[in-house]
A and B are shown apart, each in its own frame.
Chain A
Amino acid sequence: MKIRVKINGQDRSFEIDPSEYLLDTLRKNGYMSVKRGCDTGSCGACTVLLDGRPVISCSVLSASVDGHEITTAEGIANQMKEYMHALASEGADQCGFCQPGLLVMIYYLKKMIDKGLIERDKETVRRYLIGNLCRCSGYLPQERAIFRFLGVD
């Protein structure tokens, strides 16, 4: 079947299998920032924005996004340079596999915090990021950068 989606502001259409998941559709079509880490909706490496809200693309059927909008790390990385620098300055990028998914979350949280919908508070931010697993860094170096970038203390 065919779906039409807007990805990072561009209209795209793809031929998909009805059993296909968004993660696979995106990767097949070159959006390699979307990583497959677990298959069970646990690791957050495949996080993208669907109509502006973060979702695990491994658990969204591609058929169901027909007519919707998707944002991946490719589409927002150039707006996130300050964050990227903060993260790199801590050495927190490490293996990097979880990073694009995390970047999408930070982009979303920044918007939500700026709108006053999410509290500017460490514990809150941590809780909203709980679905972004990292095995390299023990999270702390990431958080030093994230808190600095989000102005959370």
Chain B
Amino acid sequence: MSLRIKEYVRPKTLEEAYSLLQKEGAEILGGTTYARLSSREIQLAIDLQDLGLDEIKEEENGWISIGSMARLSDLEFHPLLKDFAGGFLPYVLSRIWSLQLRGVATVGGTVVPRWGFSDFLTAVLALETEVEFYKSGRMKLEDFLEKGLKEKDIMTRLLIKKEERRAVFKYMRNSEYDFSIVNVAVSVKVEDGKLYDCRIAVGARPGVAKLATKAMEILKESYDDEHVEMALHAVEDEINFGDDFRWSGEYRKSVALVLLKRALGEVIS
């Protein structure tokens, strides 16, 4: 059983794509990576490959702009990300499933469905990241991940603030070639040897990545051991973890705290 597509189109403009999308049973094709696993029927499959949405570039105002049709492997090898935050994103990307899958999977196909298992979403959530839609405009990634969109819209770009950040990503897997049982990402801004604005994201809970905002607040006061300890307690309270058929929420939580402690240790040191 696999996905059935009635009709396939490649619009030439965003406007055209958008109006096609409003039709009953119309869907945007993401990377099509997981499409095969579904037995749905799509009346109209819209392929955005002709819209130039695969561009990765630095904006003048200090943001890295990543087109929604950029493949994860394009990102992984892009010179712009090589040195950003100590090569944080290529590190995370290289650990997502396989290179052959990353050659198919797109940024939009990862962000829009808000995949719970995603390592990438956890990583970018720990940076200052925004997501842009054709009609709905630009919004913080955390807001989109939490609320989603009400209307059918087309994601155009992911935008990552280009700033000096020290970032660490940790994940727990049994076999290395697997989805993460749980993952965490932590980043801090570093200015003159001082730490600011720590962002903590926890994903594969197994729900989609979430910011630990209370913990982040606590660390605004200090990065000493006591505050780190308090932040970890806060995470325990504010982030919920669930069971799936492979791993229990209890285990995820215990491991997430261990990983966070290690990640915080690394970014603070």
Query: Footprint of B on A, CB under 8 Å?
Result: 1, 18-19, 21, 39-42, 44, 47, 50, 53-56, 58-61, 63-64, 66, 105, 117, 127-128, 130-133
Contacts and interface: CB of A to CB of B under 8 A. Distances in A.
Interface stretch (B95-103, B145-153, B232-240, B250-258): B95-103
Contacts of A105: 99-100
A55 B47 contact: no
B98 A60 contact: no
Contacts of B34: 41, 59
Contacts of A50: 103
Interface string B82-106: 0000000000001101111101100
Given A59-B33, A61-B8, A131 B94 contact: no
Contact of B32 (A61, A117, A130): A61
Interface string B47-89: 1010000000000000000000001010001000000000000
Nearest to A41: B101
B8 A53 contact: no
Interface of B: 2-8, 10, 29, 31-37, 45, 47, 49, 71, 73, 77, 94-95, 97-101, 103-104, 176-177
Nearest to B73: A53
Contact of A55 (B3, B10, B37, B103): B103
Nearest to B98: A131
Given A18-B8, A56-B98, 17 more contacts: A18-B45, A19-B5, A41-B33, A44-B98, A44-B100, A53-B71, A53-B103, A54-B103, A59-B32, A59-B33, A59-B36, A61-B35, A61-B45, A105-B99, A127-B94, A131-B99, A131-B100
A118 B7 CA distance: 39
Q: Which 5 A-B pairs have the closest CB atoms?
A: A131-B98, A18-B8, A63-B8, A55-B103, A18-B5
A24 B56 CA distance: 32
A50 to B, nearest CB: 7
Contact of A41 (B95, B104, B176): B104
A54 B100 contact: yes
Interface centre among B4, B29, B34, B99 (most CB of A within 10 A): B99
Contacts of B103: 50, 53-56
Contacts, number: 90
A101 B4 CA distance: 26
A47 B100 contact: yes
Given A59-B35, A130-B177, A1 B8 contact: yes
A117 B36 contact: no
Given A19-B3, A64-B29, A130-B177, A58 B97 contact: no
A47 B35 CA distance: 17
Given A39-B36, A44-B100, A56-B100, A131 B177 contact: yes
Nearest to B32: A61
Contacts of B95: 127
Contacts of B5: 18-19, 61, 63
Contacts of B100: 41, 44, 47, 54-56, 105, 131
A33 B2 CA distance: 23
B37 A40 contact: yes
A131 B34 CA distance: 15
B37 A130 contact: no
Nearest to B74: A53
23 contacts: A18-B7, A39-B2, A41-B97, A41-B104, A50-B103, A54-B100, A55-B100, A55-B103, A56-B98, A56-B103, A59-B35, A60-B32, A61-B5, A61-B8, A61-B35, A64-B32, A64-B47, A64-B49, A105-B99, A130-B176, A131-B98, A131-B101, A132-B98
